[in-house]
Amino acid sequence: MYRYDEFDNEMVSARVAQFRDQVERRLSGELTEDQFKPLRLMNGVYLQLHAYMLRVAIPYGTLSSRQMRMLAHIARKYDRGYGHFTTRQNIQYNWVALERIPDLLEEIASVEMHAIQTSGNCIRNVTADQYAGAIDEEIEDPRIISEIIRQWSSFHPEFSFLPRKFKIAVTGHKNDRAAIKLHDIGIVITRNGEGEVGYEVHVGGGQGRTPFIAKKMTDFVPRNKLLAYLEAVMRVYNMLGRRDNSYKARIKILVHETGADEMRRLIEAEFAKIDASNMLTLPDKEAQRIMAYFAPPAYETALATSDILQAAQSANKDFTHWCATNVVSHSQTGYAIVNISLKPIGGIPGDATDTQMEAIADCAATYSHDEIRVTHEQNLVLPHVRLDDVKAVYDALVPHDLATPNLGLISDSIACPGLDYCNLANARSIPLAQDISTRFADLHRQHDIGELKIKISGCINACGHHHVGHIGILGVDKKGTEFYQITLGGAADENASLGDITGPAFTEDKVVDAIENLVDTYMNIRTSADERFIDTYRRVGMPPFKERLYAD
């Protein structure tokens, strides 16, 4: 894992001291709320419905057990005993008091964490494939370039006041688990004909009220030129992005209105200028230095199969189901990737208590080379577990309700905080996720249904990624009452697509029935158990689903 150097430490400490002073000046009345609001937002502090919310950055979703323990401590000492893992692989605390936030920030700085650039019109936390450095057939660990991008983008003076917020995601694998095509910039690590590692760059993806799939701008940028290329993209956006209308200020609108070809030409022209200056050419020595932080852990030599694992599976059906759903092959012989579902049946997607966080930290320290990952689907991962230890991990997770075998199934939904917390929301998201999870509580039924990604947003800002849910649900407000609009056919993976609206929205008491109708329709018309919901939808389209949904 990356460790802070002297510059990181100095930068974070200085920011904590600065924010402490700003909070004191606000509380004393020296600063008005209008003056203070942009300052608190630059430090990840929002005002929600009931309290302040603090968003803490987890760069590319990687945590050590020490950091996870600190997150648990923060939940217990400064919040109400839990935290909420988000779709940007961050964590949010929903009940922090403003006057205590400087102390909180000082505590997380001691484990190399901060809340800088988790809000505001700047480059946000870079996200990456949660299986980075652990999955087979990966071209390169995406955290290497993500860390380089983090360093380049942190406090970048030219890009601290962009037209709108800016999000970057990176994958090093052909299977996209980072939703790169739904980001302002999506990066796919690739190789050219000579076998050199470089980057395919997509620009202009995003969700919100005007969703777009990103357009590919280039097939290959060499490693040492990527920052120059990104700087060119940012410079074009900063110059031409709209500042007169916040709804049209994201780069996706610029790409759409300018056209992909013209956008590509503008970026290439800017890139040529920056490249000629040679100022942003990444020195190989620096790339190697960062790469060393992400070197594979000291794996033990092990067999491809484990007698211990096989014996445990023979003796315990629940464990076998969990292995089949939540455990993934590792690139290292004798190891596995273990997914920890934060979606217990009827639970709140992405929430973890202080006790759960500590249990996961213990597992990571004992069984996963001290590493934990956060996924954009609001789950956690132990990336490097010996096959011999998988049962021990399961046994440690079960008492904490962390071993639900539902990864990728209907109860593994994404849900934004919604109207239970969020100042922008029109409707609640979490209770709906809980109701759907409870309706489909039978895990055999869930497994029979197969992969089905439900994503729920409480407003058109789409923090719950509803546009790219196989089934998407959008909460809307009609005269102060909650309604829910349904979309079908969205996907966030390498075959990214945006969902289609089924028709009129449903009232709160009808929406779970509507979801069940959609699932029943799918089960009736799928060609085999191997045809996923999204495959069936792509084969037959909207008509049979719509017919059933609005039959009455």
* Cα-based angle 86, 91, 94 (whole degrees, multiple of 5): 100
Torsion of CA 132, 123, 42, 113, to 10 degrees: 20
DSSP 482: E
The verdict on 423 binding other proteins (CB under 8 A) reads yes
Site for other proteins in 458-477 (CB under 8 A): 477
The verdict on 51 binding other proteins (CB under 8 A) reads yes
* Cα-based angle 43, 48, 51 (whole degrees, multiple of 5): 90
2, 19, 52, 319: which one binds other proteins (CB under 8 A)? 52
| Residue 110 to residue 69: CA distance in whole angstroms | 12
User: Which residues are bridge partners to 170 per DSSP?
Assistant: 128, 187
150 close to 59: Cβ distance less than 8 angstroms: yes
The verdict on 252 binding other proteins (CB under 8 A) reads no
Minimum CB distance to other proteins, residue 20 (Å): 15
Q: Which is nearer to other proteins, 477 or 500 (CB)?
A: 477
Question: Parallel, antiparallel, or unpaired for β 82-85 and 351-353?
Answer: antiparallel
The verdict on 244 binding other proteins (CB under 8 A) reads no
Q: Which is nearer to other proteins, 37 or 156 (CB)?
A: 37
Six token digits for residue 50: 């009931």
Residues across the chain: 552
The verdict on 412 binding other proteins (CB under 8 A) reads no
- Which range touches other proteins (CB under 8 A), out of 189-197, 287-295, 480-488, 521-529? 480-488
Q: Which is nearer to other proteins, 343 or 546 (CB)?
A: 343
Site for other proteins in 171-230 (CB under 8 A): none
Minimum CB distance to other proteins, residue 437 (Å): 12
Six token digits for residue 144: 């290497």
Per-residue binding string, other proteins, 333-352, x by CB under 8 A, is ---------------x----
The verdict on 35 binding other proteins (CB under 8 A) reads no
Question: Parallel, antiparallel, or unpaired for β 380-386 and 127-128?
Answer: unpaired
The verdict on 389 binding other proteins (CB under 8 A) reads no
Chain centre distance of CA 34: 31
Q: Which is nearer to other proteins, 42 or 323 (CB)?
A: 42
Question: Parallel, antiparallel, or unpaired for β 127-128 and 168-171?
Answer: parallel
Minimum CB distance to other proteins, residue 481 (Å): 6
Name the region of 307 (left: φ>0; alpha: ψ -120 to 50; beta: rest).
alpha
- Which range touches other proteins (CB under 8 A), out of 129-137, 172-180, 400-408, 428-436? 428-436
407, 482, 519, 546: which one binds other proteins (CB under 8 A)? 482
Cα of first residue to Cα of last residue in the chain, in angstroms, is 56
The verdict on 480 binding other proteins (CB under 8 A) reads yes
Q: Which residues bind other proteins (CB under 8 A)?
A: 26-27, 29, 33, 47-52, 80, 97-99, 348, 419-421, 423-428, 430-431, 434, 477, 479-482
